[in-house]
Amino acid sequence: MLALERRNLILDKLQMEKRVVVSELSQMFAVSEETIRRDLDKLEKEGLATKSYGGAVINEDVSIDLPFNVRKNQNVTGKQKMAEIAASLVQEGDHIFLDASTTAVFVAKALKEMERLTVITNSMEILLELSDVSGWKIISTGGVMKEGYLAFLGSRTEDSIRSYYVDKVIFSCKALDHQWGIMESQEAFGTTKKAMMASGRKKILVIDSTKFDQTAFSVAGNLRDVDVVVTDKKPSERWTHHFEDMKIECLYPEE
């Protein structure tokens, strides 16, 4: 097993149990305790964990970006439900943008029963997910691959996005705040989503409830530019009134 794979599995365990013990991890992965300590050192330097006596605890700071392969296994049921709702808004023959979020991967899966779509994406994971679909046009934005995110980013990505105009933009974000709007932890993700929102007729934000009332480093867009918010459960009255004031449709699974 590669060290990166082992660290991702340790991070999975941290996400589920909030803490890990060096001796247990050593036995689990059949490596020395010193190797596990080096893994935990690496996770601590990346801001993903905090070392403690004999182990480590998870860093639950919302501004920290977890690896893509870890994030895609979080709130799977919620993402599936949101994806089904988002997919129901797409019609045969639509041209759509899908961003490089883990949520958009679930939307891509939910769309695969449709017969005719054009999908433009900066996500390597979505390109792979849709590689076996026939009758569709799949377009990659290209750009520079961001390590650990399976995302194409940068000026070439944004130029490519701006060369299209689509029926629907389906995207997620890191945080959603009343004052600051749609936010991302890194500027490159924010500018990519700005380009997408400027190049689509209907904007659909798919975001789970944990991201409400959070902030992040980069402003990716104004909530007023969004037409539909899809989430995994009914938002608070404060948010539902906010959406109503902005004439944004809010969709979520029935209880």
User: What whole-number distance in Å separates Cα of residue 67 and Cα of residue 65?
Assistant: 7
Q: Are 41 and 35 contacting, i.e. CB atoms less than 8 angstroms apart?
A: no
Query: 6: helix, coil or strand?
Result: helix
User: In the 8-state DSSP scheme, what is residue 212?
Assistant: B
Tens of pLDDT, residues 164-184: 999 999 999 999 999 999 999
* Mode of pairing for the β-strands spanning 144-146 and 151-153: antiparallel
Domains and CATH numbers, the chain: 3-60 (1.10.10.10), 70-251 (3.40.50.1360)
User: What whole-number distance in Å separates Cα of residue 99 and Cα of residue 74?
Assistant: 18
Compute the average pLDDT of residues 21-35: 92
Read off the tokens for 64.
Answer: 């920290």
Tens of pLDDT, residues 95-134: 999 999 999 999 999 999 899 999 999 999 999 999 999 9
Closest CA to 149 of 123, 171, 169, 175: 123
Buried b (16+ CB within 10 A) or exposed e, 81-109: bbbbbbbebbeeebbbbbbbbbbbbbbbb
Tens of pLDDT, residues 40-80: 998 888 777 888 889 998 876 544 555 555 555 555 788 89
